[in-house]
Every structure is written in structure tokens, then in C-alpha cells.
Amino acid sequence: MRIIKPSTVREWMKDHSPAKPGLEWWLDTVESAKWKNLIELKKTFPSADQVITASGRPVIVFNIGGNKFRLIAAVHFNRGLVYALSLFTHAEYSKDRWKLLL
């Protein structure tokens, strides 16, 4: 898969140093993946979930850093593209406000 703006994920590593090992692993894993659908993605990331945002658009929520962070991404299986949209702490994610932002 091709990650659009991996530099965004690297910036998150600077801002959230405890998430850095998990984000590095996520980048490496996603870049080497060739998923065709959510079922294949879930073989790599069993805890990943598809969630529908307030705008009606589907995103994938990945657990990062032992469930301490949530990475939200738009995955376009048909085009082989992944857009890393946001990173939240577990506490921020749990407030569900993020669904209104994306």
C-alpha cells in the first residue's frame, strides 16, 4: 500500500514519543501490505475496525502502542492508497468527538 504523506505520521512520532515504536511498525507494515479488502487488512491488524464518520465516510481505526493510541486512516483498497488522517490518545478517541472532525 502507498501511504499518502508518511511525513505526517513521522510528525506524530515527534509529538507523541511513546507512540513512536508502534507508529514506525505501522508505517513499515502498511507500506509492505497489498490488501484488497478489509478482511485481508484484519489478518494483519486483527483489532482494526471500520468506523463511519459523521460525514458518512468509512475510516479504519488502528490501535497503536499497546492500545494507548488510535490512528485513523482512510484506506482505498481499490487504489492501494492509505491516508493517515489523525492520531489520538485512547482518552481523546473515547470521547467520540473525532467522528465529527473527519
The per-residue pLDDT for range 30-69, each reduced to its tens digit, is 999 999 999 999 999 999 999 998 888 999 999 999 889 9
The domain spans of the chain are 2-101
- Check pLDDT > 60 for residue 93: yes
**Which is higher by pLDDT, 98 or 70?**
70
The rounded percent of the chain whose pLDDT value lies above 90 is 75
pLDDT band at 89 (very low <50, low <70, confident <90, very high): confident
The pTM of this model reads 0.88
Q: Residue 102: its pLDDT value, please? A: 60
**DSSP-derived 3-state class of residue 82:** strand
- Check pLDDT > 80 for residue 83: yes
Q: Residue 44: its pLDDT value, please? A: 97
Answer yes or no: are the C-beta atoms of 77 and 56 closer than 8 Å: no
Indicate the CATH number of 2-101 among 2.60.40.10, 3.20.20.70, 3.60.21.10, 3.30.2310.20. Answer: 3.30.2310.20
Rounded to 5°, the CA angle 36-39-45 comes to 100
Pairing of strands 69-76, 58-64: antiparallel
